[in-house]
Amino acid sequence: MDNQNRTPILQVKDLCKHFRINKKAVLKAVDGVSFDIYEGETVGLVGESGCGKSTTGKCLVRLYEPTSGEVIYKGKDITKLKGAEKKEFCKDVQMIFQNPYSSLNPRMTVKEIVGEGIKVHNPGISDAELEAKVLELLEKVGLNKDHMSRFSHEFSGGQRQRIGIARALAVDPKFIVRDEPISALDVSIQAQVLNMLKELQAELGLTYLFVAHDLSVVKFISDRVIVMYLGTIVEYADAEELYANPMHPYTKVLLSSIPEADPDIAKNSQRLTVKGEIPSPINPKPCCRFAERCPNATEECFKTMPELKDLGNGHMIACHLYK
């Protein structure tokens, strides 16, 4: 997707989210992250558990307030929005959560869950109009009128996630953060939900940030992919380019971990591995976060933090191996 002449719908500039553990210890969950998202595209955000993916997503919807940096949505810094502007932002930007078993209020019916946001942004709406709107949303996600009066515990995981998607769509958002929306679902249901999300994007003109650790899913759903490691971005590029030509040592390791369906190819392919465990994000050293585990690390990697460089065609990498 060519973004050279387009204006980003969302810009993240040097975003940091730090959690103070005590007087001396600071957990740097997100540390200096920058990227743009353009209208109508899906950006995949990948990395191991604990790399800061979900924290980044929550900062974009203001579930977390950033420690520093800027999140610019449609030209305005979201951390400075108040009153009507903040309410409009909350309408435009929604989130689909990872766990459908804990993200729905068990005391509310499906009609109340999906209709809650509609009533907040349309206080004068009648009961008949509300019911019609909720029914329209449920039918969009493959549910029906019989489900409206039921409670979330009466549904399967896949159905609960559909309810969560309907809730996110209820206020006609423009941008949705999807925080591992299928990781808690059975494999047989995952493809159904993914296809539904792609269809909804085409129908409603939605923009997605897709947070996930399943790289095969990210390849299927994303236009561009961002790779994070220990709170920092190590590489990002168009999805096809990244999967065909990974440059960062960590990205190469990640992609080699994708299972190969063809047994003949799998037999002849070599899986890359790295030494050691992921370092602690508490008080990290001011150098490349991957240096301790990188098979290609040089002396410079242990001294300074690499900056993101453009290798051409928007392929960005933060690695001292590329000058």
> pLDDT of 48-76, one tens digit each?
888 999 999 999 999 999 999 999 999 99
Q: Give the predicted TM-score (pTM) of the model.
A: 0.91
CATH of the domain at 85: 3.40.50.300
Give the span between the Cα atoms of 48 and 288, in whole angstroms. Answer: 16
Instruction: Give residue 252's domain range.
Output: 8-317
Token duo for residue 101: 């078993």
Distance CA 245, CA 26 (A): 35
Could you read off the pLDDT of 168-203 as tens digits, one per residue?
A: 999 999 999 999 887 767 777 788 888 888 999 999
Look at residue 30 and tell me if it is in a domain: yes
Q: Is residue 2 part of a domain?
A: no
Helices (H), the chain: 53-60, 83-92, 110-121, 127-140, 157-169, 187-204, 215-221, 239-244, 249-256, 263-268
Please state the domain count of the chain: 1
Q: Is residue 1 part of a domain?
A: no
Going by pLDDT thresholds of 50, 70 and 90, the confidence category of residue 81 is: very high
Give the pLDDT of residue 250: 93
Q: Domain for residue 56, yes or no?
A: yes
| Dist. CA 276–CA 286, nearest whole Å | 19
Q: How confident is the model at residue 312 (pLDDT cuts 50, 70, 90)?
A: confident
Which string of DSSP letters, residue by residue, matches 196-231?
HHHHHHHHHT-EEEEE-S-HHHHHHH-SEEEEEETT
In a domain, 235, yes or no: yes
Residue 118, in any domain of the structure: yes
Query: For 29, phi and psi rounded to 5 degrees?
Result: -65, -40
**38-68 burial by CB neighbour count: b if 16+ within 10 A, else e?**
bbbbbbbbbbeeebbbbbbbbbbbbebebbe
Give the residue among 319, 150, 134, 148 at the shortest CA–CA distance from 236.
Answer: 319
Pairing of strands 316-317, 309-310: antiparallel
Is position 152 within any domain?
A: yes
- Is 57 within the bounds of a domain? yes
In angstroms, how far is CA 288 from the centroid of its own chain?
A: 23
